[in-house]
Amino acid sequence: MTKPVLKVTDITVRFGGLVAVNKAKLSIEVGELIGFVGPNGAGKTTLMRVITGIITPNEGTVELLGKNLEGLAISKRIRAGMALAQQVVQPLREMTLLENVTFACGGAKTLNPITAMCSFNRDEEKDRAMKLLKRVGLQDSANREPSELPLGYLKRLEVARALALDPQLLLLDEPLAGLNQFEAGGLADLIVDLNRSGLSILLIEHNLREVMRICPKVYVQDQGKPLAFGQTDEVMKRPDVVKAYLGGV
Amino acid sequence: MAYEITLITTMAISVLFALSLNFITGFCGQISLGHAAFMGVGAYTSAMLMKAGIPLILTLPVAAALAGLLGLLVGIASLRVKHDFLAITTMGVVFLFVGIVRQQEFLGGEIGISGIKSSPLGREGFMLFCILLAAIFAAYSLMVKRSWMGFVFDSIADNEDVSRVLGIDVPRYKLIAFVIGTSVAGVAGGLYVQQFRFIGPDSFGFVESVSVLAMVIVGGIGSVWGVIIAAAILSVLPLWFQFIDDYKILVYSALLFIMMRFAPDGLAGLTNRLIKSLRKKV
Amino acid sequence: MIYLELVVQGIVQGSIYALIALGLTLVYGLLRILHVAHAALFTLGGYIGVLVTNSTGNFPLAMLTAMIVVGFVGIAVYKLAYEPLLEKPPYIALIASIALFIASEEIFRILFGPYGLSYTNPPLQLSFELLPDFYLKQGELLVIVGSIIMLTVLALVSGKTRMGVSWRATVTDPKMAQAFGINIQHVRYWNFFVGSALAAAAGVLVALLNNLVEPTMGSVTSYKALAIIVLGGLGSIRGTLIASLAIGIIESFGTIYIGHLMNRDAIAFAFLIVVLMFRPQGLLGAK
């Protein structure tokens, strides 16, 4: 039996008196595309940040391909095979989009400072970066800087950069937010495409239309607590899930 | 001729010193307000060894090593603190350095160390030696800028958190920047000792740290050529115009203030903008 | 008895630091800028105190003049140096501030000479016996009492008056405060006025204690005050006050016990660095 690519067990995060995440539990098998939904304030981004190591949980474990990530620095978790496209976009502002993605492609060269110091060629990475930008539809803005571009573009940059890291697990935090229906559909199709080529994906999204269209399974969190985990059409019909969305606003 | 030689040697040493700070602050984005302390460590090390009869050139690696070691410690400390806290911590380091050195009799206490013999290379030879070292480090800086290490530094200076999320071991890179920058400052310190043949606890204090930071900023943080030019000019300005010497500090600080207020990206930034606007007209 | 003396010395020094550091914390809390130039205002206060006392013989008048004049100069510094740089990365304002401070030290030196000025008739120099064998100078008592009074007034103003409440609102959330009709500009002006006035008071008091005001008297104190606000946790008034007293006392005892290793200033900075290593957010700072 193969190990799940991601296993989250009993993760709890407390901020002062507030419990942001309460015994979250989810697992993703290799090659799955899982939607991660829940009303606002459900603690989804917080859980994402626990998985990447930005936040240290008070309890619980996160395992990537069987490896317990406890105590591991963010950069080491990334190198262990995950990549994140953040909800609050953070492009490298002094670089063009192409440079942003080129940099992300340089994983092998940036692993240690001595190798980095002795490597000068960026052509290979530039080519790869251009291909990735094409994939997310940003090829025409390759030489522009983030400050000139709208949010939707920057969200796609996040995805391109995450893909550049060649991960086994892709974490997407609301990549469709800020996109119009046409763009959202296109990016969602891309996500399906990526998944078909073997990439495991955890997708936080508010755009339920797309989630229900592309995600076979879905994990629902409400006010920090896991509410449901299973086949999308079944879960989304459950009365407690519907209530959580309607009640939570 | 002797006057010009002194001028050029001073320039070369200042350029080396400023480039070493540029490595830390300019390349890696870590604001250091205490860089003179590392020059001081190198200077005192070289001075003590030279008084014991060891030729300058053999003292330089030791000076570099000790300065680099202190740099490593400060670098490690810098990992724990952010931004403003980092600036103050580095400031604390230089005050700590001066405060400790003053009290140590074996380092000359308040009086400092004097009576260093002049260089066996002769004044011209020593000048060429300094120019050589400055040129080597300038070339190295340019090389690093073009390399993937420079790419990583750019990313860290731009957004540290994003760099981590892109798999960069940020602490390791910061430490390397610190160690390289501070070791080279140590070498500059050794050269300083040979040139001025006297050092005291006040030679490497907060004002000196701010002055070298001024050179980096006026040149344009991160720009190797900008810093070279700025350091060369600012270091000899008081020597060229004797009347400035008395007002040297006022001139430096006024200049720094004006730069910050009107052109924070320094000479390099001004040049870039000039080039861009000229291009538009053509 | 020596312990009591050391403690009292520490409190006197700590009170001075508190008066200076408070202005810094006020500025940081509001603008997130490390206002190094603050020390120039401290020195200016000292100079005004001496000059006015020497020409009028009236010390309280001198104190008042210093506080008011420097208060306005503080506002000018804000308008000249900080307001235009608010949108830029914070290290730019920091370096501009440092440059301003160093320039001001030089200006004092050029205007008034490097050796400083003294009171022609230093007031409040008498000592009185507080406890058997333990003498306290009137000046020192004034420092302690004066600081307590000023800080209490400040606490009352910030807690009870409209300006105080506006200030606290602006620090917490400037946009929200503006939405409520609070005039951010005025809050900022008051902020700089009060902070600078306190620094001026400290300057006058220090000039009194040492019977000397000289161009560099601000330097180490200023850097130390910065270290103090960092130690207390940037932006925390309570933290600043605690850190001020702590540093004052630690220096006092430190110079006696480890003064052979490092001088007084180094002790303060060493303490700062050690604390930051264990608590990078300062003693009372938010994580």
- DSSP output for B213-263: HHHHHHH-TT-HHHHHHHHHHHHHHHHHSHHHHHHHHHHHHHHHHHHHHH-
Contact state of B99 with C262 under an 8 Å Cβ cutoff: yes
Question: B272 falls in which pLDDT band (50, 70, 90)?
Answer: confident
Contact state of A117 with B151 under an 8 Å Cβ cutoff: no
Select from B265, B158, B30, B141 the least CA-distant residue to A103: B158
CA C86, C88, C91, C93 torsion-angle sign: negative
What torsion, rounded to 10 degrees, do the Cα atoms A67, A71, A73, A76 define?
Answer: -20
pLDDT confidence of residue C1: 60
Contact state of A103 with B155 under an 8 Å Cβ cutoff: yes
Select from B74, B29, B48, B87 the least CA-distant residue to B189: B48
Which of B64-68, B102-106, C173-177, C206-210 bottoms out in mean pLDDT, i.e. has the lowest? C173-177
pLDDT confidence of residue A249: 45
The type of residue at B223 is S
- DSSP output for C221-265: HHHHHHHHHHHH-TT-HHHHHHHHHHHHHHHHHHHHHHTTTS-HH
Tell me, yes or no, whether C267 lies in a domain.
no
B276 touches chain A (CB under 8 A): no
Contacts of A111 in chain B (CB under 8 A): 167, 169
What values do phi and psi take at C205, rounded to 5? -65, -45
C135: CB partners within 8 A, 6+ apart: C127, C128, C129
Centre a 10 Å sphere on the Cβ of residue A141 and count the other Cβ atoms it contains. 18
pLDDT confidence of residue C166: 78
Which among B154, B165, B172 has CB closest to A74?
B165
Q: How far is C70 from C39, CA to CA, in rounded Å? A: 11
> What number is the average pLDDT over the span B266-276?
83
Please write the tens of the pLDDT for every residue from C200-235.
Answer: 999 998 888 888 888 888 877 777 888 888 888 777
pLDDT confidence of residue B138: 96
Nearest Cα of chain A lies from the Cα of B177 at a distance, in angstroms, of 10
Which of B140-154, C27-41, C129-143 bottoms out in mean pLDDT, i.e. has the lowest? C129-143
Contacts of B178 in chain A (CB under 8 A): none
Nearest Cα of chain A lies from the Cα of B165 at a distance, in angstroms, of 6
Count how many pairs of residues, chain A against chain B, have C-beta atoms within 8 Å.
Answer: 84
Tokens 């606290």 — which residue? C168
Contact B233, B248 (CB under 8 A): no
Cross-strand bridge partners of residue B215: none
Contact B93, C273 (CB under 8 A): yes
B156 touches chain C (CB under 8 A): no
Q: How far is B229 from B181, CA to CA, in rounded Å? A: 19
Which of A34-38, B80-84, C140-144 bottoms out in mean pLDDT, i.e. has the lowest? B80-84
- DSSP output for chain A: -PPPSEEEEEEEEEETTEEEEEEEEEEE-TT-EEEEE-STTSSHHHHHHHHHTSS--SEEEEEETTEE-TT--HHHHHHTTEEEE-SS----TTS-HHHHHHHHHTHHHHSSHHHHHH----HHHHHHHHHHHHHTT-GGGTTS-GGGS-HHHHHHHHHHHHHHT--SEEEEESTTTT--HHHHHHHHHHHHHHHHTT-EEEEE-S-HHHHHHH-SEEEEEETTEEEEEEEHHHHTT-HHHHHHHHHH-
Tell me, yes or no, whether C271 lies in a domain.
no
Which of B62-66, B155-159, B266-270, C62-66 bottoms out in mean pLDDT, i.e. has the lowest? B266-270
pLDDT confidence of residue C130: 65
C127: CB partners within 8 A, 6+ apart: C135, C136, C137, C138
What values do phi and psi take at B108, rounded to 5? 95, -5
Contact C15, C150 (CB under 8 A): no
Please write the tens of the pLDDT for every residue from A142-162.
Answer: 999 999 998 888 988 999 999
Which among B88, B100, B250 has CB closest to C227?
B88
Q: What residues of chain B, 207 to 266, have a C-beta less than 8 Å from chain C?
A: 207, 210, 213-214, 217, 247, 249-250, 252-254, 256-257, 260-261, 264
Q: How far is B66 from B45, CA to CA, in rounded Å? A: 8
Residue A51 structure tokens: 């998985």
The answer to whether C and A touch (≥3 CB pairs < 8 Å) is no
Contacts of A103 in chain B (CB under 8 A): 151, 155, 166
Residue B101 structure tokens: 């050195």
Tell me, yes or no, whether C254 lies in a domain.
no
Contacts of B100 in chain C (CB under 8 A): 261-263, 266
Query: Which chains have 3+ CB pairs within 8 A of B?
Result: A, C
Residue A54 structure tokens: 């930005």
What values do phi and psi take at A188, rounded to 5? -60, -40
Contacts of B148 in chain A (CB under 8 A): 106, 109-110, 115-117, 119-120, 122
The residue in chain A having the minimum alpha-carbon distance to the alpha carbon of residue B150 is: A117
Question: B282 falls in which pLDDT band (50, 70, 90)?
Answer: low
Which residues constitute the domain of residue C127?
A: 2-222
Q: What is the CATH number of domain A1-81+167-249?
A: 3.40.50.300
What DSSP element (H or E) covers C135?
strand C134-137
Asked if residue C162 has pLDDT above 70, the reply is: yes
Residue C50 structure tokens: 């001496």
Please write the tens of the pLDDT for every residue from B240-256.
Answer: 666 666 777 788 788 88
> What number is the average pLDDT over the span A93-114?
92
Q: Is B267 left (phi over 0), alpha (psi -120 to 50) or beta?
A: alpha
Select from A240, A168, A169, A200 the least CA-distant residue to A229: A240
The residue in chain B having the minimum alpha-carbon distance to the alpha carbon of residue A84 is: B165
Asked if residue C185 has pLDDT above 60, the reply is: yes
Tell me, yes or no, whether C273 lies in a domain.
no
Please write the tens of the pLDDT for every residue from C58-101.
Answer: 888 889 999 999 999 999 999 988 898 888 877 788 888 888 98
pLDDT confidence of residue C75: 94
Per the model's pLDDT, the better-predicted residue between A73 and C114 turns out to be: A73
Q: How far is C-alpha A45 from the chain's CA centre?
A: 10
The residue in chain B having the minimum alpha-carbon distance to the alpha carbon of residue A85 is: B165
- Selection from A5-19, B76-90, B173-187, C177-191 with the highest mean pLDDT: B173-187
Which of A65-79, B42-56, C183-197, C266-280 bottoms out in mean pLDDT, i.e. has the lowest? C266-280
Domain locations in chain A as residue ranges: 1-81+167-249, 92-166
Please write the tens of the pLDDT for every residue from B28-62.
Answer: 778 888 899 999 999 999 999 998 888 888 999 99
Rounded to the nearest 5 degrees, what angle is found at the Cα of A184, between the Cα atoms of A180 and A189?
155
pTM of this prediction?
Answer: 0.83
Contact state of C106 with B206 under an 8 Å Cβ cutoff: no
Q: How far is B161 from A89, CA to CA, in rounded Å? A: 12
Q: How far is C119 from C208, CA to CA, in rounded Å? A: 8
User: Could you give the residue ranges of the DSSP H alpha helices within chain B?
Assistant: 2-21, 36-51, 56-80, 83-103, 122-146, 148-158, 160-165, 170-196, 206-219, 224-240, 242-262, 266-281
**Interface ipTM > 0.85:** yes
Count how many pairs of residues, chain B against chain C, have C-beta atoms within 8 Å.
Answer: 127
Percent of chain B scoring above 90 in pLDDT: 41
Select from B23, B14, B19 the least CA-distant residue to B178: B23
pLDDT confidence of residue C126: 67
Class of B2-281 in CATH: mainly alpha
Please write the tens of the pLDDT for every residue from C13-64.
Answer: 899 888 888 888 888 888 888 888 998 999 999 999 989 888 888 888 889 9
Mutate to test the interface with A, among B140, B142, B151 (most CBs of A within 10 A): B151
Contact B46, B185 (CB under 8 A): no
The type of residue at A50 is V
> What number is the average pLDDT over the span B182-186?
96
The residue in chain B having the minimum alpha-carbon distance to the alpha carbon of residue C36 is: B88
What DSSP element (H or E) covers C136?
strand C134-137
Tell me, yes or no, whether C234 lies in a domain.
no
> What number is the average pLDDT over the span B212-227?
88
First-to-last C-alpha distance (Å) of chain B: 45
Q: What is the DSSP letter of B203?
A: G
Q: How far is C199 from C109, CA to CA, in rounded Å? A: 20
pLDDT confidence of residue C254: 85
Tell me, yes or no, whether C257 lies in a domain.
no
Contacts of B98 in chain C (CB under 8 A): 265-266
Residue C98 structure tokens: 């440092």
3-state secondary structure A119-167: CCCCHHHHHHHHHHHHHCCCHHHCCCCHHHCCHHHHHHHHHHHHHHCCC
Residue B199 three-state SS: strand
Per the model's pLDDT, the better-predicted residue between A106 and B251 turns out to be: A106
Mutate to test the interface with C, among B21, B32, B79, B88 (most CBs of C within 10 A): B88
> Regarding beta strands A217-222 and A225-231, do their DSSP bridges make them parallel or antiparallel, or are they unpaired?
antiparallel
CA A151, A153, A159, A162 torsion-angle sign: negative
Contact B7, B161 (CB under 8 A): no
Contacts of C88 in chain B (CB under 8 A): 264
B148 touches chain A (CB under 8 A): yes
Select from A40, A4, A53, A1 the least CA-distant residue to A25: A4
